[in-house]
Amino acid sequence: MTLYGYFRSSTSYRTRIAMNLKGLDYDYIAVNLAQDEQLEAAFQSINPQGLVPVLQADDLLLYQSPAILEWLEDIYPDTPLLPKDAAGRMQVRALSAMIGCDIHPLNNRRVLQYLRHELSVDEEAVLAWCGRWMKEGFDALEKRLANDKTRGKFCYGNHPTFADCYLIPQVSSARRFKVDLSAYPNIVEIDTHCRTLKAFADADPMVQPDAP
């Protein structure tokens, strides 16, 4: 398998975590978003949407990280990242969607570049924009986590799930955009614990081959 990604891309990061948790080996091809390599013909032929990650498995090209994670779960079920019961799977998918649908898209590179270059928003206002939507999402997520009295050291239960694959990159992004996390002790606790695990540590942006 070959993973096309970018070291700082949250969606690439969550995919790396999932693949590491499942113990999968893969080649890595960096697509430099800072230099707009995703817009070049070579990558557009792989993914016309111009987004990472893309996972190539033999002749199959997979795109959109939620779909990739679901595919990995179907094809490599021995290390499950979803609970066995339907209610548990719903909870994990809902937690993941809170991050992947309601926080991340408002803070991804395309949106921030539009704010900077098309609307002439200064960097202080960009940080305020990021903080606004991350805090709103984290407020709700923190309450969900606090109310789950059966939860262990992860977002759900006692084992890492999709939700942790989504959360840790979002926390990393929040720190990069100088979001104060002191109001989110459960989120910080989960993040701290996950980062002690090799699968998460090896997926960290700053240890990727294309990191500066």
Put the strands of the sheet holding 2-5 in their side by side order. Answer: 27-30, 2-5, 54-57, 60-63
Q: How sure is the predictor about 79, in pLDDT bands with cuts at 50, 70 and 90? A: very high
Taken in order of first residue, the domains within the chain and their CATH numbers are 2-79 (3.40.30.10), 86-199 (1.20.1050.10)
Q: How many residues does the chain have?
A: 212
Residue closest to 52 by CA, chosen among 103, 123, 2, 112: 2
Question: Environment class of residue 158 by beta-carbon count within 10 Å: exposed (0-12), middle (13-18) or buried (19+)?
Answer: exposed
pLDDT (mean) for 162-182: 97
Q: pLDDT tens digits for 95-137?
A: 999 999 999 999 999 999 999 999 999 999 999 999 999 999 9
Contact 133, 173 (CB under 8 A): no
For the entire predicted model, the pTM comes to 0.96
- Pairing state between β 60-63 and 54-57: antiparallel
| CB-based contact 198:160 (threshold 8 Å) | no
Containing 2, the helix (H) or strand (E) segment is strand 2-5
Q: What is the DSSP string of 150-196?
A: T--SSSSTTS--HHHHHHHHHHHHHHHTT---TT-HHHHHHHHHHTT
Rg of the chain on CA atoms, in Å: 17
Tell me the one-letter amino acid at 88. Answer: G
User: What's the whole-number average pLDDT of the chain?
Assistant: 97
Of 41, 198, 177, nearest in space to 103 by CA? 177
pLDDT in tens, 25-59: 999 999 999 999 999 999 999 999 999 999 999 99
Give the number of other Cβ atoms within 10 Å of residue 175's Cβ.
12
Cβ(99)–Cβ(6) below 8 Å? no
